[in-house]
Amino acid sequence: MDIRGRQQAHRRFTSAGHFTAVEELLVVSLPGSGIKAKPHIESRMRTLKTHFSILYDMIAGRGTSGFGWDNDRKCITAENSVWEEYLKSHLDAEPFRYKSFPFYEELSIIFGKDRATGKEALDKQEAPNNENVVDDDATSTSFVQANVFEGGEESSKLKNIKLDTGSQLSKAIKESSMLLGVEIGKATDRLSRALEDTEAIEKRLKINEALTSLSGLTMFERHKSTRKIGCDRETLDIFFTIPEEEKEV
């Protein structure tokens, strides 16, 4: 997939170029986030693909039946008996029994081609030669369907289908990358705050030790200074940047 505006699609999101291109988009949309193609984007996309595969296998996989998709709630639907039987051999599906997955349709455009080896592929193999078969280059999932014909007019139709598919894939990848960027951005902020809090705690523990090394301070003055410095983050940072000889002044 080329997400730099040329709308070319190969229906896979795996190369280093893809991740780097998304990283460049995030630099513009989320400046200062520090999100990198590796490990952030690559790791998150790997997780999303794993989750998508679990859902896809339930909905469209071979040997499965009774599962549906609630487009309003964005979740898998099935009778309890269907769930219980399926979970006997697919424990990794348990979290999605009561969990929504809002970007299944978008991810199906990105990852669906990799999963079309089950009953969809079987259907193509069994289709009679004189029937219109869904062309592999014109679609990547069950959400994007088209008939393939031969001849001048039909060839033009196929080109339009490919362009439309590429446009949908480009939009899906951009939306997914933006969601990914927001999630990673929030996680980065939380981690940054946690690191700052840890650093502040370590500094507070060293205040009394630093004041003890200063001559001329009574115990009362030292304890009072410890509380005053420790209660203000800016004062705390400044205190530990001042040279030792200036602290006594």
The answer on 233 and 143 residing in a single domain is: no
Residue 9 falls inside a structural domain = no
| End residue of a domain, out of 196, 215, 230 | 196
Residue 78 falls inside a structural domain = yes
The answer on 142 and 206 residing in a single domain is: no
Question: How much is the pLDDT for 118?
Answer: 43
The answer on 113 and 26 residing in a single domain is: yes
With a pLDDT cut of 90, the percent of the chain lying above it is: 5
The answer on 143 and 177 residing in a single domain is: yes
Residue 2 falls inside a structural domain = no
The answer on 216 and 115 residing in a single domain is: no
Residue 32 falls inside a structural domain = yes
Contact partners, residue 146, CB within 8 Å, separation at least 6: 134, 135, 138, 139, 158, 161
Give me the residue label for tokens 């709308």. 7
Residue 3 falls inside a structural domain = no
For residues 51 and 102, the answer to whether their CB atoms sit within 8 Å is no
**pLDDT tops 80 at residue 20:** no
Residue 177 falls inside a structural domain = yes
The answer on 86 and 69 residing in a single domain is: yes
Sequence letter at residue 77: T
Angstrom distances, CA of residue 199 to CA of 49, 65, 67, 204: 36, 54, 50, 9
Question: How much is the pLDDT for 79?
Answer: 93
Tell me which residue range forms the domain holding 144: 16-196
The answer on 237 and 115 residing in a single domain is: no
The answer on 71 and 121 residing in a single domain is: yes
Counting the structural domains of the chain, the total is 2
Residue 70, phi then psi, degrees to nearest 5: -90, 105
User: Cα dihedral angle (114, 119, 125, 128), rounded to 10 degrees?
Assistant: -130
Q: What angle do CA 87, 89, 94 make, to 5 degrees?
A: 30
The answer on 166 and 101 residing in a single domain is: yes
Cis peptide before 39 (omega within 30 of 0): yes
100 alpha-carbon distance from chain centroid: 15
The answer on 152 and 39 residing in a single domain is: yes
For residues 66 and 79, the answer to whether their CB atoms sit within 8 Å is yes
Residue 11 falls inside a structural domain = no
Tokens of 117: 């080896």
The answer on 46 and 157 residing in a single domain is: yes
Residue 6 falls inside a structural domain = no
Cis peptide before 31 (omega within 30 of 0): no
For residues 17 and 56, the answer to whether their CB atoms sit within 8 Å is no
Distance CA 38, CA 23 (A): 9
Contact partners, residue 114, CB within 8 Å, separation at least 6: 12, 49, 53
* 158-190 pLDDT per residue, tens: 445 455 555 666 666 666 666 666 666 666 666
* 34-49 pLDDT per residue, tens: 666 666 667 777 888 8
* 121-172 pLDDT per residue, tens: 434 444 444 433 333 433 333 433 333 334 444 445 444 545 555 566 666 6
Question: How much is the pLDDT for 82?
Answer: 92
Strand, coil or helix: 193: helix
The answer on 129 and 219 residing in a single domain is: no
